[in-house]
């Protein structure tokens, strides 16, 4: 029987916008070190009830409020506007840390940080001042980007039409991670010439409806539902020329930033699964009969497999760190060469984090044994989350991009999925 509670996952009901101001004040983070420490503390809190929360049928609004109040959502706001302006290597560490505890919560913030990057790269000083101030005060950005039914991902049917001091937007968006509980909803829409703009609407704008209809088997608590746009009015002061980041002669690393955060989420999910594997093998798993060992953690084959997985996890972290530094370099000196280098480094990291996330979440059961499949542990959430999230963009194309870059000197394509 359908639920009458809009916050029940998959209810299909419209969700009211969040109440503002929220009861918890937002922390102003001032440094990279502080950001990492707060992320570690929050991840520890998340892990205490992650399995029960993921099993729950309700959207994790309380945890989300605590997450955004931590100040982590504002750490990439430039120092000139009052933010910490942390490096992207630091952001990667923060994202991995949160995702190791809860992959869904980590993903909810992904599009927020991507929106901050667009504001920084394409916004006017006046737009940056207004929007960054709202973000530092604790306002959350959601996402209204993707569509269904179009021949290509980049073919958008959501249109904006100028009307005096504002634009009117009509369309329908899917996979709108974060929009359900957002304060601001960045909408990608095209003008009459097919040029893409980012219009940042208030969540409570008339005609903007968010449906809680996400029904995937993984990342269930991301609330990645549908956004309906019926003559949504957005002031021109909130409309940003997102297309400017993708000019071949003067690109910005916006796409690399979006992909980088996706890769860090996958790396974090892998880390969380490996931590569960170690704990279970050491405390619950029985040694295999032919091992002639008293404890499962003494099994030489188990040690061999886990050694390989942890070595790959270290490689993922290193690749993400390199990719974060390449993004920082491209932001400091944006050229076709620095942006392409950042994209390729992110693609390399994405390959490794995707493959490790799927392998590590599968090996958890192989190494921990039959007891680990008991539903009370809810370990399958790691595999379900990894398998669902890694579908965001196929790594078979990442291999091709990397190979073409080194073999033929061909820069990756300039779009949000590369």
pLDDT tens, position by position, 243-293: 999 999 999 999 999 999 999 999 999 999 999 999 999 999 999 999 999
Beta strands (DSSP E) in 89-130 are none
Residues 239 and 252 in one domain: no
Q: What are phi and psi of 286, to 5 degrees?
A: -90, 145
pLDDT for the residue numbered 154: 77
pLDDT for the residue numbered 4: 87
3-state secondary structure of 141: strand
Q: Is the torsion defined by CA of 293, 294, 295, 297 positive or negative?
A: negative
Residues 63 and 193 in one domain: no
**CB burial class (10 A; 0-12, 13-18, 19+) of residue 385?**
buried
Tell me, what CATH number does 289's domain have? 1.20.140.10
Q: Which of 244, 266, 283 is the last residue of a domain?
A: 244
Residues 293 and 266 in one domain: yes
Residues 198 and 263 in one domain: no
DSSP 27: P
Residues 255 and 324 in one domain: yes
pLDDT for the residue numbered 418: 87
Domain annotation covers residue 74: yes
Contact status, residue 298 vs residue 287, Cβ threshold 8 Å: yes
Our count of domains for the chain comes to: 3
Alpha-helix residue ranges (DSSP H) falling in 241-335: 254-283, 300-332
Domain annotation covers residue 142: no
Instruction: Say how many residues make up the chain.
Output: 418
Q: What are phi and psi of 75, to 5 degrees?
A: -70, -20
Tell me, what CATH number does 177's domain have? 2.40.110.10
pLDDT for the residue numbered 407: 98
- Domain with 102, as residue range(s), is 32-136
List, for residues 114-123, the tens digit of each pLDDT value.
999 999 999 9
Domain annotation covers residue 1: no
Which portions of the chain are predicted below pLDDT 50?
none
Q: How far is residue 116's CA from residue 168's CA, in Å, rounded to a whole number?
A: 23
pLDDT for the residue numbered 259: 97
Residues 47 and 96 in one domain: yes
Q: How far is residue 142's CA from residue 134's CA, in Å, rounded to a whole number?
A: 14
Instruction: List beta partners, residue 202.
Output: 184
């Amino acid at each position: 029987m359908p639920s009458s509670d809009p916050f029940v996952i998959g209810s299909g009901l419209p969700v009211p916008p969040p109440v503002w101001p929220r009861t918890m004040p937002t922390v102003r983070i001032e440094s990279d070190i502080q950001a990492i420490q707060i992320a570690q503390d929050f991840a520890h809190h998340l892990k205490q009830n992650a399995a029960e929360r993921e099993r729950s049928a309700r959207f994790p609004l309380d945890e989300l409020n605590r997450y955004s109040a931590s100040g982590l959502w504002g750490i990439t706001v430039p120092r000139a506007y009052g933010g910490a302006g942390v490096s992207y290597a630091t952001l990667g560490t923060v994202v991995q840390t949160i995702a190791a505890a809860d992959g869904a919560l980590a993903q909810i913030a992904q599009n927020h940080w991507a929106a901050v990057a667009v504001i920084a790269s394409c916004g006017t000083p006046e737009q940056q001042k207004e929007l960054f101030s709202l973000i530092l005060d604790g306002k959350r950005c959601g996402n209204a980007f993707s569509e269904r039914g179009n021949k290509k991902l980049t073919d958008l049917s959501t249109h904006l039409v100028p009307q005096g001091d504002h634009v009117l937007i009509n369309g329908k968006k899917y996979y709108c991670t974060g929009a359900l509980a957002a304060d601001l909803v960045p909408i990608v829409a095209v003008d009459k010439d097919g040029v893409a703009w980012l219009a940042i609407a208030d969540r409570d704008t008339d005609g903007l409806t968010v449906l809680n209809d996400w029904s995937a088997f993984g990342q269930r608590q991301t609330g990645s539902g549908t956004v309906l746009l019926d003559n949504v009015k957005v002031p021109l002061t909130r409309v940003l020329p997102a297309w400017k980041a993708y000019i071949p002669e003067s690109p910005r690393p916006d796409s690399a930033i979006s992909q980088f955060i996706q890769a860090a989420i996958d790396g974090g999910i892998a880390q969380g699964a490996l931590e569960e594997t170690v704990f279970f093998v050491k405390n619950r798993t029985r040694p295999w009969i032919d091992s002639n060992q008293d404890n499962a953690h003494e099994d030489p084959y188990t040690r061999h497999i886990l050694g390989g997985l942890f070595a790959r996890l270290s490689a993922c972290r290193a690749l993400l760190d390199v990719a974060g530094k390449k993004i920082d370099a491209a932001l400091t000196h944006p050229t076709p060469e620095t942006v392409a280098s950042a994209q390729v480094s992110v693609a390399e990291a994405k390959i490794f984090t995707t493959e490790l996330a799927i392998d590590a979440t599968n090996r958890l059961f192989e190494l921990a044994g039959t007891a680990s499949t008991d539903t009370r542990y809810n370990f399958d959430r790691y595999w379900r989350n990894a398998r669902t999230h890694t579908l965001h963009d196929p790594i078979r194309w990442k291999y091709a991009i990397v190979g073409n870059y080194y073999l033929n000197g061909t820069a990756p394509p300039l779009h949000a999925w590369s």
